[in-house]
Amino acid sequence: MSHKVSVTVNGTTHERQVEARLLLSDFLRHDLGLTGTHVGCEHGVCGACTILLDGLPVRSCLMLAAQTNGRAVTTIEGLSTDGKLSPLQEAFRDTHALQCGYCTPGMLTTMTAFLAETPNPSEDEIREALSGNLCRCTGYQNIVDAVKLASQRMAR
């Protein structure tokens, strides 16, 4: 049985029929073609699939597409405007906070929400907030620095 969902993704409202079991991650990536959201485990641990649901980070692999009816979703594609990087994205580039870039979508969505709630975080707070997103390439140091740099730039 399929379900009708009307979901706003990065500002655009999509109406789709989805199968009950379709994971939100698959819906975004394969039905909407928003492949910037990555899938690394499908059991909630790696964090690569993290998106913002009504502004809050959640794992898209642990939600059904059918559950998003009437909700607003932001993915990595929605963080920059007209090709202009957000301060956080810019800082990631400046500090070399990504290598393969596979974990990056989840890092960016999680940290975007974190900075909105915690504008002037300490290193410990940043690391705590990052601890649910796994990165196998960077050793995290440059990611921590990027978040710090973004917070400083955004304060100006």
Partner 1 sequence: MKPAPFRYVPAASLEEALALKAEHGDEAKFLAGGQSLIPAMNFRMAQPAILIDINPLTALSYVRQDGNAIRVGALTRYRTLQRDAAIAGKLPLMAEALPEVAHPAIRNRGTLGGNLSHADPASELPAVVSALGGTLHTRSKKGTRRIAAQDFFTAALTTALTADELLTEIELPVLPPRSGTSFLEVARRRGDYAMMGVACAVTLNASGACAEARLAYCNAGETAMLAPKAAAALKGQRIDDKTARAAAERAKAEINPFGNVHASADYQRHLAGVLTRRALLVAAERAGA
Partner 2 sequence: MSIRSFGQPIKRNEDGRLLQGKALFVDDVELPRMLHAAFVRSPYAHARIRGIDTQAAKKRPGVVAIYTATDLGAYWRPGFLLVPPPPIAGITFNERTQVPLVKDKVRHAGEPVAVVIAEDRYIAEDAVAEVVVDYEELPAVVDLEQARDARSGFVHDDLKTNVAAHVRQIKGDYAKAVAGAACVIKRRFLYDRGSSLPIETRGVVAHWDAKADRMTIWDTTQAPVFLRNGLAAMLGLSERQVRVIAPFIGGGFGPKIMMFYPEEVILPWAARKLARPIKWIEDRFEHFFATTHERGQLHDAEIALTTDGRILGVKDVFLHDTGAYDPYGLTVPINSQCTLLGPYHIPNYDSTFTALFTNKPIVTPYRGAGRQHGVFVIERLLDIAARELKLDRAEIRRRNFIPPDDFPYNNQIIYQDFTALTYDSGNYGPILDKALKAIGYAGFRDEQARQRAKGKHLGLGIVAYVEGTGIGPYEGAKVQVQASGKVSVATGIGTQGQGHYTSFAQIVADQVGAKVTDIEVVTGDTDQFYWGAGTFASRGAVVAGNAVNEAAKVVRQKILRTAAEHFECAEADLVIEDGKVTVNGVPGKSVALGVLANVANPMRGAVKPGTEPGLEATSYFGPEMGATAAGVHAMIVEVDPETLMVEIKDYVVVHDCGTVINPLILAGQIHGGVAQGIGNAFYEQLVFDGQGQLRNASLADYLIPTALDVPRMTLDHTVTPSPLNPLGIKGAGEAGAIPVGPLFAQAVEDALGLPDKGIELNEIPLSPSRLWELAGSADNITASQQARVR
Ligand X SMILES: Cc1cc2nc3c(=O)[nH]c(=O)nc-3n(C[C@H](O)[C@H](O)[C@H](O)COP(=O)(O)OP(=O)(O)OC[C@H]3O[C@@H](n4cnc5c(N)ncnc54)[C@H](O)[C@@H]3O)c2cc1C
What residues numbered 32-51 form the site for ligand FES, per CB under 6 A? 39-42, 44-49
Residue 148 buriedness (CB in 10 A; 0-12 / 13-18 / 19+): middle
Of the candidates 2, 6, 13, 19, which one interacts with partner 2 according to CB under 8 A?
A: 19
CB of 39 or CB of 154, closer to partner 1: 39
Indicate whether 141 belongs to the interface with partner 2 (CB under 8 A). yes
Cα–Cα dist 30/56, whole Å: 22
CB of 50 or CB of 112, closer to ligand X: 50
40, 103 Cβ separation under 8 angstroms: yes
Residue 89 buriedness (CB in 10 A; 0-12 / 13-18 / 19+): buried
Of the candidates 45, 56, 85, 116, which one interacts with ligand X according to CB under 6 A?
A: 45
What residues numbered 50-79 form the site for partner 2, per CB under 8 A? 75-77, 79
